[in-house]
Amino acid sequence: MKTYEAYCFDLDGTVYRGAAAIPEAVAFIHHLQAQGIEPFYVTNNAKYTQAAIQQKLAVMNLVVPAERIMTSSIATAKYIAKHYPNQTVKVLGQQGLQQAIAAENIRVVSEQPDIVAQGLTVNISYEALEDICYDIQNGAKHIATNGDLKLPNEHGFAPGNGSFVQLVQNVTGVEPLYIGKPAPHMLEIIRDSFGFTKADMLMIGDNYDTDILVGIDYGIDTLHVDTGVTRQADVQTKQAQPTYYAKTLAAWL
């Protein structure tokens, strides 16, 4: 097994399931850290700040520097700052997105934005959706943190950000730009910031349609784990295959 410089872990279904750590993943991360390799964490979850994710991982006995945590909110803010400097943004999202936008010193407005940034908002209102529909019809660009349609939990599936983004798209007819996996922006920011080559990077995740496809499309190696959304047996039927499979990360210790 090759050694990589940048191990990029998905979080939910890969490192933990809800509030419960996945012990084999924790052991593998400890093993990497003991060799002086500090992994990255790459999540589509836009709700939480780096600090909140850092705290959650700390409870699972994982000590992780904040700058190793990449969320679709952070990537959205960095994308806007890089590609649309000096443009104004209306934010529909929770603290993770609001704080990421503020950290890039992007000007936030409530009227006539140049850009609408949309992330999952659990207290979303009809009025808020209505307003961004008008903004986009008036010319604002529509940027979505991620396109996940549904979020698995113990009850079944809950609506994900992508379901609300599609609702807005149905009204405006304007195609949104998606930042989260399977789009490459989070991996690209990590590669840019730390100076890796693609050959140095491995994407590890449980969800074929996001984690594995982002790695394949971006051109880096991928490892599918069978601890979350997509079962290994289903991945094996796909045309584009991950580089590696593991039932759990114990196989990699």
Sites of contact with Mg ion (CB under 5 A): 10, 12-13, 206-207, 228
Distance between the two ends of the chain, CA-based, in angstroms? 10
On whether the CB atoms of residues 53 and 81 are closer than 8 A, the answer is no
Residue whose CB is less far from Mg ion, 113 or 160: 160
CA dist., res. 247 & res. 253, Å (int): 12
State the residue number with the nearest CB to Mg ion: 13
CB 36, min distance to Mg ion, A: 26
Strand partners, 20: 17
Residue whose CB is less far from Mg ion, 10 or 24: 10
CA dist., res. 7 & res. 196, Å (int): 11
Of 182, 191, 214, 186, nearest in space to 79 by CA: 186
CA dist., res. 148 & res. 207, Å (int): 11
CB 218, min distance to Mg ion, A: 17
Residue whose CB is less far from Mg ion, 104 or 226: 226
Residue whose CB is less far from Mg ion, 116 or 252: 252
Amino acid, res. 11: L
CB 132, min distance to Mg ion, A: 27
Which phi and psi (to 5°) does residue 74 adopt? -60, -45
Residue whose CB is less far from Mg ion, 146 or 207: 207
Token pair 């807005």 is at which residue? 168
CB 8, min distance to Mg ion, A: 12
CB 134, min distance to Mg ion, A: 34
